A and B are shown apart, each in its own frame.
Chain A
Amino acid sequence: MRRGAIVRITLIGVAVAILATLVAVLIPWLPDPASKQMGRIEFLYWFATVISIGIFAVVIAVLLYSVFAFRAAPDDDSDGPSIHGNTNLEIAWTVVPAILVIAIGVVSAVVLSQNGQAGTNPMTIKVIGQQFTWRFEYPDSKGLKSNELVMPVDRNITFQLEAVDVIHSFWIPQMGQKQDLVPGLPTHIVVTPTRMGTFTLICTELCGLGHATMRAPVRVVSQQGFDAWIKQQQSGGGSASGAGAGKAVFTSSGCGACHTYAPAGSAGAVGPNLGNLAADAKKAHEDLAAYVKESIVDPNKVIVAGYQPNVMPGNFAQTLSAKQVDALVSFLAAGSK
């Protein structure tokens, strides 16, 4: 190989590498980490990125150089040199990539092991996924139930995951960790939030019509804030009275994910528009309040034309208290006259 060729290839390679590095650095490829685990994933991501940029630069440099340097004239009928191979070169490009990928493998295995450790005294939160809502239970706080995920900052949290109907998947993008919820097979994952703020839990496994809307609010607060929240929830202070209570149940139960309802400001399109409840009740020849209650606790009984049965969860009678159901019914009946 001529020396000029080496110099030129190196120059192209460096240019490609600089360009790729700029793309890697200037675009915020990962969300700002909000958990210890995501911090490790980010480190691993950069480790793989440095190696990838190197390989990409070598391939593209040789490709571009060859196309420009060895391009034949249209009337050139000659053949190239009959090089059939080079054993040393072939060994080199078998061994070097093998070493690089094994390095990535070893670092990944270490990170994986660290990310799986819950440490001493982890807090446990139970997560139940169901088409198309999330529910949370706090066994350490007398089994407190919530439709909002609230976590104290800097605490190892073991999530115990259960699915009621089909497979769902638990992911808070800024916290990295993801785990499927599998019917009949309890799973778990460890997350240590490091940043206070509000986030969104999203389902990442296609679970049916409302999949895109299967989300839950996540709040990471200080330990004091968390304790206060637990106390407030346990004393029932979380539920306001009157119309406010119904709206709170509507929001926390995830009704808006599938239903449009102007008083709650929701625009879901999976299920019927709840602004039409009065008209639908008339069609079913039922009293409005009775119809609304029936539709919540036994959703398959009357299906509005154009919609399918078995889409809405059928267990709100179990997950909501009678008081909550009544509040929800009055909230819905009031807004659809």
Chain B
Amino acid sequence: MSAVEHTSHGLGHGAGAPPHRRGIFTRPGFVRAAWCFALFFLIGLYLVAGIRWFAGWDPVYDWNIIVLVGGLVMGPVGFLLGLGAFDYWLYYLSGRPTLAEDHSNHGAYTWKDYFKVNTDHKVIGMQYLVTTFVFFILGGLMAMLFRAELAQPGMQFMDTQTYNGLVSVHAALMIFVFMVPVFAGLANFAVPLMLGAPDMAFPRLNALSYWFLPIAGTMFLCSFLAPGGAFATGWTSYAPLASQQPFGQIFFNMGVQWAGASSILTALNFLVTIITMRAPGMTFWRMPLLVWANFTTSMLAVVATPFIAGSQFFVMFDRVLHTSFFIPKGGGYVLGYQHIFWFYSHPAVYIMILPGFGIISEIISVMSRKPIFGYRLMAISLLGILVLGFSVWAHHLFVAGMADWLRVPMMISTLLIAVPTGVKIFSWLATLWEGRIHLNTPMLFALGFISTFVIGGLSGVYLASVPIDIHASDTYFVVAHIHYVLFGGSVMTVFAGVYYWFPKMTGRMYNERLGKLHFWITFVSFNVTFFPMHWVGLVGMPRRVADYSQRFADLNLVISIASFVLGASILIFLYNVVTSWARGPIAEANPWRAMTLEWQVSSPPPVFNFDEIPQVVGGPYEYGVPGARHAILSGGTTPVEAGA
């Protein structure tokens, strides 16, 4: 914690940067990253060609393998090296002088600092958020493209390969490089501040985990350039179809590795930070629920993510090394893929919603001016979801042909997840009760979240029931369900969180009228887009089809039009965020009169967060308790005391 003692912010030149100035080709940055990428690609190329030449294999230049080794493995490592992500460790390994408390790459003083390997958790949080929103918008544009195709039956704009590719890349971008990491971005910004810590436990690792992300997203996008088109087997990418597809599939297999590695490293970082870097007095039962949520999410991510990494490696090995993990002819077990895949991908659903639960708890308590109802049960229910979350994966296999006896136990555990989830919803409602509700933009998104998430939860109960699932599985009902949970659920909480912390992140206030307009257009067009999908699915429209029966034409046209409105509504958000960031009114330190620690420092916070380590003396949501305090900070701003 000695970082706090540094008052000369960002002046510690030592490790990565020797005192003398270096040329543009040798100093860390995009120029060095570019030539390092090229160099490492060539190393990969000649490694492959050399081995093939030596072994006498034909052709020597097998471009599929060269792209895999040079472009998807070696190249990105070179890119990271050139960017400077490994500089400190390499200096250390080679015995050159390093300075443990080196802050030369910490904090943002100009906009350029956001494009560097930066060790400040607040800068990294912003890097995460901006990057993930870029992928969010690209993924949304792809959805609008295939919704245009689906507006009418028959094929209008694209062939089925393009259609399947767009559907698959849309989902891969949304899940692996938007939904999972956007929460890591928000938590990166908020969690160390909420804990009273100067930064994350491993700032350099934190920077590295962020830079994996643009690599993963770029890989998904580059698959469109592969011969035969982008990967086109859906985000679930079931074997054996995935092992037989054109080469674009490899970009998915490898993109997931980079995104997964990022997720695991960040989760480890959060766990260590939350366990070891809480301010004095910040017991586990005094942690804000956002911290609790990220604590449980991180445990899920650390345990589950290696499984999807394994599943994608196996599929890739079946193709490039001619193993037969999932090829029946070679003794492979096709359902094995689905079991391993869903052992990650079901917990991943909770990785994509639990941090959102944390955000909603913060906002509802603050905007209702009341303590969160049943704080301990709220934390325990998160742990309940964590434990149950690992015992439900096979509900994705009810029609897959797995052992019959597994279905009923998996159904019961799946249904039981509704209980801790219900506890959260009822507790939020009870927190609203008799509060002083302020209906600003974050609160609107929070309440909108509750109403849409309830629908997503209830359709989940239908899908948990095996006989109903047998009918509804692989239809548009499932598409509706997942979007009610991930858009009506998670994306709503992301918007709520971005508006809520916007003044803290940027030091400026967003435009409230535009925020509310954004909410209402999003809320209405979201429901018009996805609610009818329940119906078309139940009456017979399967998912992932480029063409469909004439009788679904009218509703699909309505869905497509609503989806364009939903897509366009992001423009209001972007306009609001960009103009407010540039010239919005200066925000106070604590515009919401919240008690948690991030609001007790200036907006935006100082580079090292707290001039002095805060002393935590009470719970984080003691609104309405006379004289109650969450923490005591000497100097700086006065902490909020509960009002009259």
Contact = CB atoms under 8 A, between A and B. Distances in A.
Interface string B205-247: 0000000000000000000000010001110001011001110
B159 interface: yes
Contacts of A105: 408, 411-412, 415, 464-465
7 contacts: A72-B435, A79-B369, A84-B374, A97-B419, A112-B466, A165-B240, A166-B244
A94 B427 CA distance: 11
B475 interface: yes
A212 B546 contact: yes
B306 interface: no
A262 interface: no
Interface in B464-486: 464-468, 470-471, 473-475
A83 B371 contact: yes
Interface stretch (B36-44, B132-140, B453-461, B607-615): B453-461
Contact of A85 (B375, B404, B450, B458): B375
List 6 tightest A-B contacts by C-beta distance, closest first.
A184-B328, A173-B540, A212-B545, A82-B624, A72-B436, A79-B624
B430 A79 contact: no
Contacts of A183: 240, 328, 334
Contacts of B435: 66, 70, 72, 80
A219 interface: no
Name the residue among A60, A173, A204 with the largest chain B CB count within 10 angstroms: A204
A81 B624 CA distance: 6
Interface in A83-106: 83-86, 89-90, 93-94, 97-98, 101-102, 104-105
Interface string B423-450: 1011101101111111100000001001
Contacts of A59: 425, 429, 450-451, 454
Contacts of B411: 105, 108-109
A104 B161 contact: no
B164 A209 contact: yes
A41 B471 CA distance: 8
Nearest to A209: B160
A334 interface: no
Nearest to A109: B408
Chain A facing B: main interface SS: mixed
Contacts of A90: 374, 377, 423, 427
A84 B432 contact: no
A62 B535 CA distance: 27
B547 interface: yes
B625 interface: yes
Among B160, B240, B447, the one with the most A-chain Cβ atoms within 10 Å of its Cβ is B160
Given A70-B436, A86-B430, 20 more contacts: A51-B461, A52-B462, A63-B450, A66-B437, A67-B447, A80-B370, A89-B430, A98-B416, A101-B415, A101-B416, A102-B412, A108-B467, A115-B467, A116-B404, A173-B539, A176-B471, A183-B334, A204-B542, A209-B160, A212-B545
A79 B429 contact: no
Contacts of B642: 79, 82
Nearest to A38: B471
A79 B334 contact: no
Contacts of A77: 593, 643-644
Nearest to A207: B241
Interface of A: 27-31, 37-38, 40-41, 44-45, 48, 51-52, 55-56, 59-60, 62-63, 66-67, 70-72, 76-86, 89-90, 93-94, 97-98, 101-102, 104-105, 108-109, 111-112, 115-116, 165-167, 169, 171, 173-174, 176-180, 182-185, 187, 202-213, 267, 269-270, 308, 310
Contacts of B432: 62-63, 66-67, 70
A66 B425 CA distance: 14
A310 to B, nearest CB: 7
A175 B335 CA distance: 25
Contact of A28 (B335, B373, B539): B539
- Chain B interface size, under 10 / 10 to 19 / 20 to 34 / 35 or more: 35 or more
A167 B435 CA distance: 54
Contacts of B475: 204
Given A63-B447, A80-B436, A166-B244, A40 B419 contact: no
Contacts of B543: 204
A94 B539 contact: no
A178 B470 contact: yes
Contact of A48 (B155, B401, B465): B465
A206 B592 CA distance: 48
Interface in B387-413: 399-401, 404, 407-408, 411-412
Contacts of A82: 370-371, 622-625, 628, 642
Contacts of A48: 461-462, 465, 468
Given A78-B369, A79-B643, A173-B539, A269 B451 contact: no
Given A62-B429, A269-B160, A31 B369 contact: no
A59 to B, nearest CB: 5
Contacts of A202: 540, 542
Nearest to B155: A269
Contacts of A111: 467
Given A80-B436, A105-B412, A178-B399, A44 B540 contact: no
A209 B470 contact: no
A84 B373 contact: yes
B434 A80 contact: yes
B244 A310 contact: yes
Nearest to B623: A79
B290 to A, nearest CB: 18
Contact of A209 (B161, B434, B628): B161
A72 B643 contact: no
B536 to A, nearest CB: 11
A3 to B, nearest CB: 15
B429 A63 contact: yes
A212 B544 CA distance: 8
Contact of B467 (A52, A101, A112, A182): A112
B465 A79 contact: no
B368 interface: yes
A31 to B, nearest CB: 5
A85 B370 contact: no
B92 interface: no
A336 B535 CA distance: 42
Contacts of A112: 407-408, 466-467
B534 to A, nearest CB: 8
Contacts of A83: 370-371, 373, 430, 433-434
B60 interface: no
B544 A182 contact: no
Contact of A167 (B238, B542, B544): B238
Interface in B327-375: 328-329, 332-335, 368-371, 373-375
B624 A80 contact: yes
A85 B423 CA distance: 12
B428 to A, nearest CB: 9
Nearest to A87: B374
Contact of B159 (A38, A60, A85, A269): A269
B465 A182 contact: no
Contact of B439 (A45, A67, A79): A67
B451 A63 contact: yes
B405 to A, nearest CB: 11
B462 A182 contact: no
